[in-house]
Each structure stands twice: as structure tokens, then as C-alpha cells.
Amino acid sequence: MAERYAAGLLNELRINEKVSIIGKVDGEWENGIFLADNTARIRVKDISKGLTGIVEIRGEVVGNYEVRCESYNEFEATNFDFSKRAELVRLYQQFSEIGV
């Protein structure tokens, strides 16, 4: 399972490290989307353009502030408080472990 990180920590991780990041879609670029939280704005490649709102990306680090997406989940929330993100991640892990 990929470790969950704040976007701002991506530049501290090894290339090819598996990660999971939750953020708000903050635009598009030629190879994917921008994803932002309260720590940074990152590039996500190999993902569908046209996504909006809150997304959890699972993939691998391919460079400074850049992730190659392997899978993702969309959330319905639009006004997401990233200061409470840790609680959401904890609950998500709990539900994932029991197969919900």
C-alpha cells in the first residue's frame, strides 16, 4: 500500500516511490492535471483531464512535484478543508482495511 503524503513533501521522496496524495484539482497541463493542497501544487501525469473537485491520487513519484497516476478516487466535497485532511485519511484507511 502506498504511503499518504502532503503534496509539499514530494520533492523529499525517491523517484519511483509509491505515494497517495489527496488534493484539489487546480487546472490542467498538457500531460495531465495540477493537484494542490495547503502545502504545494504538483503535476499529475497519465490521468484523465476534465476532473474537478477533490481527488486522491495513487501512483509513483517521477520527479520534483510530479507523480505518475496509477489510480485515483474522486470525492464529492468541493470546499475541502485540508487542515482536517489527517482525519479524512485516517477514516479512509480504516474503511479500506475493512473493505468498505
One-letter amino acid of 98? I
Distance CA 19, CA 47 (A): 15
pLDDT along the chain (100 residues), means of 10: 76 89 92 91 94 92 95 77 65 62
**Would you state the pLDDT for residue 100?**
46
Residue ranges of domains in the chain, CATH in brackets: 3-97 (2.40.50.140)
Look at residue 7 in the predicted model and tell me its pLDDT.
Answer: 82
> End-to-end CA distance of the chain, in Å?
16
The structure's pTM equals 0.73
**Cα atoms in the Cβ-side hemisphere of radius 13 Å centred on 23:** 27
Element (H, E) at 2: none
